[in-house]
Structure 1
Amino acid sequence: MTIEEVQQEIIEEFSVYQDWMDKYAYLIELGNELKPLDPKDKNDQHLIKGCQSRVWLVAEKENAVIHFRGESDAVIVKGLVALLLRVVSGRTPKEIMDNDLHFIDDLGLKQHLSPTRANGLLAMVKQIRLYAVAYDRLEKQGGTING
Protein backbone atom coordinates (compact mmCIF):
# COMPACT_ATOMS: atom_id res chain seq x y z
CA MET A 1 0.00 0.00 0.00
CA THR A 2 1.25 3.48 -0.79
CA ILE A 3 1.30 6.35 1.69
CA GLU A 4 -1.63 7.86 -0.22
CA GLU A 5 -3.64 4.63 0.02
CA VAL A 6 -3.04 4.37 3.76
CA GLN A 7 -4.13 8.00 4.24
CA GLN A 8 -7.32 7.35 2.26
CA GLU A 9 -8.00 4.26 4.37
CA ILE A 10 -7.66 6.31 7.57
CA ILE A 11 -9.96 9.03 6.19
CA GLU A 12 -12.58 6.39 5.35
CA GLU A 13 -12.29 4.83 8.83
CA PHE A 14 -12.90 8.20 10.48
CA SER A 15 -15.77 9.06 8.12
CA VAL A 16 -18.05 6.57 9.87
CA TYR A 17 -17.95 8.78 12.97
CA GLN A 18 -20.05 11.94 12.76
CA ASP A 19 -19.40 13.19 16.29
CA TRP A 20 -15.95 14.31 17.45
CA MET A 21 -16.38 12.52 20.77
CA ASP A 22 -16.61 9.26 18.79
CA LYS A 23 -13.53 10.24 16.79
CA TYR A 24 -11.63 10.93 20.02
CA ALA A 25 -12.76 7.53 21.36
CA TYR A 26 -11.43 5.90 18.17
CA LEU A 27 -8.10 7.74 18.57
CA ILE A 28 -7.86 6.47 22.15
CA GLU A 29 -8.62 2.93 20.93
CA LEU A 30 -5.83 3.20 18.34
CA GLY A 31 -3.44 4.48 20.98
CA ASN A 32 -4.29 1.60 23.31
CA GLU A 33 -3.38 -0.84 20.50
CA LEU A 34 0.05 0.78 20.06
CA LYS A 35 2.88 -1.45 21.28
CA PRO A 36 4.60 0.24 24.25
CA LEU A 37 8.16 1.42 23.83
CA ASP A 38 10.93 -0.26 25.72
CA PRO A 39 11.65 1.93 28.79
CA LYS A 40 15.26 2.43 27.55
CA ASP A 41 13.83 4.24 24.47
CA LYS A 42 11.96 6.74 26.63
CA ASN A 43 14.87 9.13 26.86
CA ASP A 44 15.68 12.73 25.92
CA GLN A 45 17.18 11.64 22.60
CA HIS A 46 13.79 10.34 21.45
CA LEU A 47 11.61 12.96 23.14
CA ILE A 48 9.78 15.25 20.71
CA LYS A 49 10.27 18.92 21.52
CA GLY A 50 7.18 21.12 21.19
CA CYS A 51 4.59 18.67 22.52
CA GLN A 52 2.50 19.46 25.57
CA SER A 53 2.53 15.80 26.60
CA ARG A 54 5.57 13.62 26.43
CA VAL A 55 6.05 11.87 23.08
CA TRP A 56 8.94 9.62 22.17
CA LEU A 57 9.73 8.70 18.58
CA VAL A 58 12.35 6.13 17.58
CA ALA A 59 13.49 5.72 13.97
CA GLU A 60 15.61 2.85 12.70
CA LYS A 61 16.56 2.26 9.08
CA GLU A 62 16.71 -1.29 7.83
CA ASN A 63 16.76 -2.55 4.23
CA ALA A 64 16.25 0.94 2.77
CA VAL A 65 13.14 1.71 4.84
CA ILE A 66 12.64 3.54 8.12
CA HIS A 67 10.79 1.76 10.90
CA PHE A 68 9.26 4.09 13.46
CA ARG A 69 8.17 3.26 16.97
CA GLY A 70 6.58 5.73 19.33
CA GLU A 71 4.58 6.34 22.44
CA SER A 72 3.03 9.14 24.47
CA ASP A 73 1.95 9.57 28.07
CA ALA A 74 -1.39 11.07 26.89
CA VAL A 75 -4.10 8.77 25.51
CA ILE A 76 -5.31 10.92 22.59
CA VAL A 77 -1.75 11.82 21.60
CA LYS A 78 -0.86 8.13 21.69
CA GLY A 79 -3.63 7.63 19.11
CA LEU A 80 -2.15 10.38 16.94
CA VAL A 81 1.24 8.65 17.19
CA ALA A 82 -0.40 5.38 16.10
CA LEU A 83 -1.93 7.09 13.04
CA LEU A 84 1.34 8.73 12.01
CA LEU A 85 3.30 5.51 12.42
CA ARG A 86 0.73 3.63 10.35
CA VAL A 87 1.30 6.07 7.48
CA VAL A 88 5.09 6.49 7.59
CA SER A 89 6.64 3.40 9.17
CA GLY A 90 8.19 0.97 6.71
CA ARG A 91 8.70 3.66 4.06
CA THR A 92 11.81 4.87 2.30
CA PRO A 93 13.14 8.30 3.21
CA LYS A 94 12.17 9.50 -0.28
CA GLU A 95 8.56 8.32 0.13
CA ILE A 96 8.28 10.24 3.40
CA MET A 97 9.87 13.37 1.95
CA ASP A 98 7.80 13.27 -1.25
CA ASN A 99 4.37 12.79 0.33
CA ASP A 100 2.18 15.35 2.01
CA LEU A 101 0.50 13.98 5.12
CA HIS A 102 -2.82 15.55 4.12
CA PHE A 103 -4.95 13.17 6.19
CA ILE A 104 -4.28 15.40 9.20
CA ASP A 105 -6.06 18.33 7.53
CA ASP A 106 -8.63 16.15 5.78
CA LEU A 107 -9.76 14.71 9.13
CA GLY A 108 -9.83 18.17 10.71
CA LEU A 109 -7.43 17.04 13.43
CA LYS A 110 -5.66 20.39 13.80
CA GLN A 111 -8.98 22.24 14.15
CA HIS A 112 -10.39 19.82 16.74
CA LEU A 113 -7.32 19.48 18.91
CA SER A 114 -6.27 22.04 21.47
CA PRO A 115 -3.69 24.49 20.06
CA THR A 116 -0.92 22.88 22.11
CA ARG A 117 -1.86 19.37 20.89
CA ALA A 118 -2.08 20.61 17.28
CA ASN A 119 1.41 22.12 17.64
CA GLY A 120 2.62 18.84 19.11
CA LEU A 121 1.20 16.95 16.13
CA LEU A 122 3.07 19.27 13.78
CA ALA A 123 6.24 18.75 15.84
CA MET A 124 5.87 14.97 15.40
CA VAL A 125 5.45 15.35 11.63
CA LYS A 126 8.48 17.66 11.52
CA GLN A 127 10.60 15.14 13.44
CA ILE A 128 9.52 12.31 11.11
CA ARG A 129 10.53 14.42 8.11
CA LEU A 130 13.87 15.31 9.76
CA TYR A 131 14.61 11.61 10.25
CA ALA A 132 13.76 10.98 6.58
CA VAL A 133 16.04 13.81 5.40
CA ALA A 134 18.89 12.64 7.65
CA TYR A 135 18.62 9.03 6.51
CA ASP A 136 18.36 10.13 2.87
CA ARG A 137 21.53 12.21 3.14
CA LEU A 138 23.40 9.45 4.93
CA GLU A 139 22.27 6.92 2.36
CA LYS A 140 23.72 9.11 -0.38
CA GLN A 141 26.95 9.41 1.60
CA GLY A 142 27.04 5.74 2.57
CA GLY A 143 26.79 6.34 6.33
CA THR A 144 24.50 5.27 9.17
CA ILE A 145 22.93 6.86 12.24
CA ASN A 146 21.32 5.55 15.37
CA GLY A 147 17.61 6.47 15.73
Structure 2
Amino acid sequence: MFAFDDLSSVSLQELTSNANWQSQYRLITQWGKLIHHKPELRLETNLLRGCETLAWLTHVQKNDLHYFSFDSDSKVINGLAALLLSQVNGKTATEIGGINLAELLSLVGLEKHLTPSRNNGLRAIIARVDECVKL
Protein backbone atom coordinates (compact mmCIF):
# COMPACT_ATOMS: atom_id res chain seq x y z
CA MET A 1 0.00 0.00 0.00
CA PHE A 2 1.30 3.44 -0.91
CA ALA A 3 1.31 6.46 1.38
CA PHE A 4 -1.14 9.22 0.61
CA ASP A 5 -0.34 12.83 1.38
CA ASP A 6 -2.70 15.09 3.31
CA LEU A 7 -3.75 17.66 0.73
CA SER A 8 -6.61 19.11 2.78
CA SER A 9 -4.87 22.50 3.03
CA VAL A 10 -4.71 22.88 -0.77
CA SER A 11 -7.36 25.32 -1.92
CA LEU A 12 -8.19 26.23 -5.49
CA GLN A 13 -10.07 29.24 -4.12
CA GLU A 14 -6.93 30.43 -2.30
CA LEU A 15 -4.96 30.14 -5.52
CA THR A 16 -7.50 32.10 -7.55
CA SER A 17 -7.80 34.80 -4.89
CA ASN A 18 -4.09 35.56 -5.42
CA ALA A 19 -4.19 37.71 -8.56
CA ASN A 20 -0.41 38.09 -8.60
CA TRP A 21 1.49 35.28 -10.34
CA GLN A 22 4.38 35.48 -7.85
CA SER A 23 1.95 34.89 -4.97
CA GLN A 24 0.41 31.97 -6.83
CA TYR A 25 3.86 30.52 -7.54
CA ARG A 26 4.84 30.75 -3.85
CA LEU A 27 1.61 29.00 -2.90
CA ILE A 28 2.23 26.22 -5.44
CA THR A 29 5.77 25.65 -4.12
CA GLN A 30 4.43 25.56 -0.54
CA TRP A 31 1.93 22.91 -1.61
CA GLY A 32 4.82 21.01 -3.19
CA LYS A 33 6.16 20.43 0.31
CA LEU A 34 2.97 18.49 1.14
CA ILE A 35 4.05 15.76 -1.30
CA HIS A 36 6.46 13.60 0.64
CA HIS A 37 9.24 11.51 -0.87
CA LYS A 38 7.98 7.97 -1.56
CA PRO A 39 10.73 5.65 -2.80
CA GLU A 40 8.26 2.74 -2.89
CA LEU A 41 6.26 4.60 -5.54
CA ARG A 42 9.22 5.04 -7.88
CA LEU A 43 8.58 2.06 -10.13
CA GLU A 44 8.61 1.98 -13.92
CA THR A 45 4.89 1.13 -13.99
CA ASN A 46 4.07 4.30 -12.04
CA LEU A 47 6.32 6.61 -14.09
CA LEU A 48 4.46 9.39 -15.92
CA ARG A 49 5.27 9.79 -19.60
CA GLY A 50 5.42 13.32 -20.97
CA CYS A 51 6.77 14.93 -17.82
CA GLU A 52 10.29 16.36 -18.23
CA THR A 53 11.15 15.72 -14.61
CA LEU A 54 10.75 12.19 -13.33
CA ALA A 55 7.34 11.85 -11.70
CA TRP A 56 5.35 8.88 -10.45
CA LEU A 57 1.63 8.47 -9.85
CA THR A 58 -0.30 5.54 -8.47
CA HIS A 59 -3.94 4.94 -7.80
CA VAL A 60 -6.13 2.80 -5.56
CA GLN A 61 -9.85 2.46 -5.37
CA LYS A 62 -11.44 1.81 -1.98
CA ASN A 63 -15.10 0.99 -2.25
CA ASP A 64 -16.19 3.51 -4.88
CA LEU A 65 -13.66 6.18 -3.95
CA HIS A 66 -10.43 6.92 -5.83
CA TYR A 67 -7.14 7.91 -4.21
CA PHE A 68 -3.88 8.96 -5.86
CA SER A 69 -0.32 9.11 -4.59
CA PHE A 70 2.34 11.21 -6.31
CA ASP A 71 6.08 11.79 -6.11
CA SER A 72 8.71 13.79 -7.98
CA ASP A 73 11.85 15.73 -7.14
CA SER A 74 10.37 19.05 -8.31
CA LYS A 75 8.60 21.25 -5.74
CA VAL A 76 6.69 22.99 -8.53
CA ILE A 77 5.46 19.76 -10.13
CA ASN A 78 4.64 18.42 -6.66
CA GLY A 79 2.65 21.58 -5.93
CA LEU A 80 0.77 21.38 -9.22
CA ALA A 81 0.07 17.68 -8.60
CA ALA A 82 -1.18 18.56 -5.10
CA LEU A 83 -3.59 21.06 -6.65
CA LEU A 84 -4.87 18.51 -9.17
CA LEU A 85 -5.08 15.60 -6.75
CA SER A 86 -6.84 17.69 -4.10
CA GLN A 87 -9.67 18.00 -6.61
CA VAL A 88 -10.06 14.24 -7.19
CA ASN A 89 -8.84 12.33 -4.12
CA GLY A 90 -11.61 10.63 -2.18
CA LYS A 91 -14.19 11.06 -4.93
CA THR A 92 -16.20 8.62 -7.01
CA ALA A 93 -15.63 8.07 -10.72
CA THR A 94 -18.84 9.99 -11.41
CA GLU A 95 -17.67 12.95 -9.34
CA ILE A 96 -14.26 12.92 -10.99
CA GLY A 97 -15.88 12.62 -14.41
CA GLY A 98 -17.76 15.83 -13.67
CA ILE A 99 -14.51 17.74 -13.14
CA ASN A 100 -12.71 19.05 -16.21
CA LEU A 101 -9.22 19.42 -14.73
CA ALA A 102 -7.73 20.99 -17.86
CA GLU A 103 -10.49 23.58 -17.98
CA LEU A 104 -10.09 24.24 -14.27
CA LEU A 105 -6.39 25.00 -14.75
CA SER A 106 -7.18 27.15 -17.76
CA LEU A 107 -9.65 29.22 -15.71
CA VAL A 108 -6.96 29.77 -13.08
CA GLY A 109 -4.59 30.85 -15.88
CA LEU A 110 -1.67 28.64 -14.89
CA GLU A 111 -0.74 27.51 -18.39
CA LYS A 112 0.25 31.02 -19.48
CA HIS A 113 2.77 31.25 -16.64
CA LEU A 114 4.21 27.73 -16.75
CA THR A 115 6.93 26.47 -19.05
CA PRO A 116 5.88 24.11 -21.84
CA SER A 117 7.51 21.19 -19.98
CA ARG A 118 5.49 21.91 -16.81
CA ASN A 119 2.30 22.22 -18.85
CA ASN A 120 3.14 18.84 -20.41
CA GLY A 121 3.65 17.43 -16.92
CA LEU A 122 0.22 18.69 -15.86
CA ARG A 123 -1.37 17.13 -18.94
CA ALA A 124 0.41 13.84 -18.14
CA ILE A 125 -1.00 13.85 -14.59
CA ILE A 126 -4.51 14.62 -15.87
CA ALA A 127 -4.27 11.86 -18.49
CA ARG A 128 -3.16 9.29 -15.89
CA VAL A 129 -5.99 10.29 -13.52
CA ASP A 130 -8.49 9.89 -16.37
CA GLU A 131 -6.95 6.55 -17.33
CA CYS A 132 -7.08 5.23 -13.76
CA VAL A 133 -10.66 6.26 -13.13
CA LYS A 134 -11.91 4.69 -16.36
CA LEU A 135 -10.54 1.23 -15.48
* TM-score when normalising by structure 2: 0.85
The Cα shift of 1:47 comes to 0.8
For residues 77-128 of structure 1, what are the alpha-carbon distances to aligned partners after superposition, in whole Å with 9 as ceiling and x for unaligned?
Answer: 1100111110011111222223212321111111110011101101110110
Distance in 1, matches of 2:93 and 2:124, equals 18
Distance in 2, matches of 1:28 and 1:132, equals 27
Structure 1 residue 94 and structure 2 residue 94: aligned? yes
Identity %: 29
The Cα shift of 1:35 comes to 3.4
Distance in 1, matches of 2:67 and 2:134, equals 14
Q: Which has the higher helix share?
A: 1
Count matched residues: 125
For residues 19-51 of structure 1, what are the alpha-carbon distances to aligned partners after superposition, in whole Å with 9 as ceiling and x for unaligned?
Answer: 2122111100001022332x1211111111000
Alignment of 1:65-144 (within 5 A): 65-101=65-101, 102-134=103-135
Is the 2:41–2:71 Cα contact (8 Å) retained in structure 1? Answer: no
Structure 2 equivalent of residue 47 of structure 1: 47
Distance in 1, matches of 2:99 and 2:30, equals 26
Structure 2 equivalent of residue 27 of structure 1: 28
Q: Which has the larger radius of gyration?
A: 1
**1:30 alignment partner, SS class:** helix
The Cα shift of 1:18 comes to 2.8
The Cα shift of 1:14 comes to 1.5
- The root-mean-square deviation of aligned C-alpha atoms, in Å, is 1.6
Distance in 2, matches of 1:46 and 1:25, equals 28
**1:94 alignment partner, SS class:** helix
Moved over 4 A (4+): none
* TM-score when normalising by structure 1: 0.78
What are structure 1's unaligned runs of at least 5 residues? Answer: 1-5, 135-147
